[in-house]
Amino acid sequence: MIDQAIYRRFNHTVAACFVIYFLFPKYILNFDRVYFVIIFWLSIILIEYFRLSGAFTLDGMRDYEDTRVAGFVWFATGTCMILFFYEIGMFPEIFAVSTIIMASFVDPLIGEVNRKYGNRKGFLAGLIGSFVIYQLIIGVIFYAFVGSMVAVIVERPKFKWLDDDLLIQIFPILVMTIFYFSGLGPDLPLTLEGN
């Protein structure tokens, strides 16, 4: 029997591979690549609709997800939102790439450390993990600090109809973007090529 918790964690960390999107050409088969994001998101919604209606079961689900929208839907929604807003020029590429990777790794990291060592160490592990990832990719301590702080703060509260898988992506990138475009944050290369 597969370990459901580990299976769920691995699915979460593999989601970091979504960043391959940024290496895709702008047009695929004459269609703007953003259409593929929308098709992907609709496919996830369709799968979730049939899962919730009992048409099939999926491994790795939590018990309470039998009657609630599953974490993978929230995560895919957050990632697709980032990719969509990146395409319309709202989010800089460097923030989008780093946030998707950070959320993929840090959320399961916090979950594991919380489970084994308690919430305070989970918070600390999440803060260090997200700071290191942001610093390695963005290379500016200010944004690494802001992004990691926001990520661990929004991961804490639990809501029935809003999941941390979505919040841990949208809020850090939103706050970093506001700091950047308002001029309150330092300047930085906005693309992967610039780093």
Partner 1 sequence: MEFTKIYVGVLYLVVVITSLIFYLNNYYIIASLLILGNVLPGYKLAVSLSGNHEN
Query: Which stretches of the chain bind partner 1, using CB under 8 A?
Result: 2-3, 6-7, 9-14, 16-17, 19-20, 23, 59, 97, 101, 104-105, 108, 133, 136-137, 192
Q: How far is the CB of 194 from partner 1 (least distance, A)?
A: 12
- The least distance separating partner 1 from the CB of residue 102, rounded to whole angstroms, comes to 9
Please, what is the minimum distance in Å from the beta carbon of residue 10 to partner 1? Answer: 4
Both tokens assigned to 189: 């290369």
Least Å from the CB of residue 11 to partner 1: 7
CA dist., res. 115 & res. 20, Å (int): 31
Across 25-55, b (16+ Cβ under 10 Å) vs e yields eeeeeeeebbeebeebbeebeebbeebeeee
> CB 3 → partner 1: shortest distance, Å?
4
Q: Which is nearer to partner 1, 73 or 138 (CB)?
A: 138
Three-state DSSP class for 92? coil
Is the Cβ of residue 20 or residue 29 nearer to partner 1 in the bound state? 20
Closest CB to partner 1 among residues 155, 157: 155
Q: How far apart are CA 47 and CA 189, in angstroms?
A: 38
31-32 and 27-28 beta bridge pairing: antiparallel
Q: Which residue has the tokens 């964690």?
A: 9
32-39 CB contacts, 8 Å cutoff, 24+ apart: 32/87, 33/87, 34/83, 34/84, 34/87, 37/80, 37/83, 37/84, 37/87, 38/80, 38/84
- 77 vs 98 by CB, closer to partner 1: 98
Could you tell me the smallest distance in angstroms from the CB atom of residue 104 to partner 1?
7
Structure tokens at 129: 């993990």
Q: What is the distance between the alpha carbons of residues 34 and 60, in angstroms, rounded to a whole number?
A: 29
Residue closer to partner 1 (CB basis): 135 or 185 = 135
If the CB atoms of residues 26 and 160 are measured against partner 1, the closer one turns out to be 26
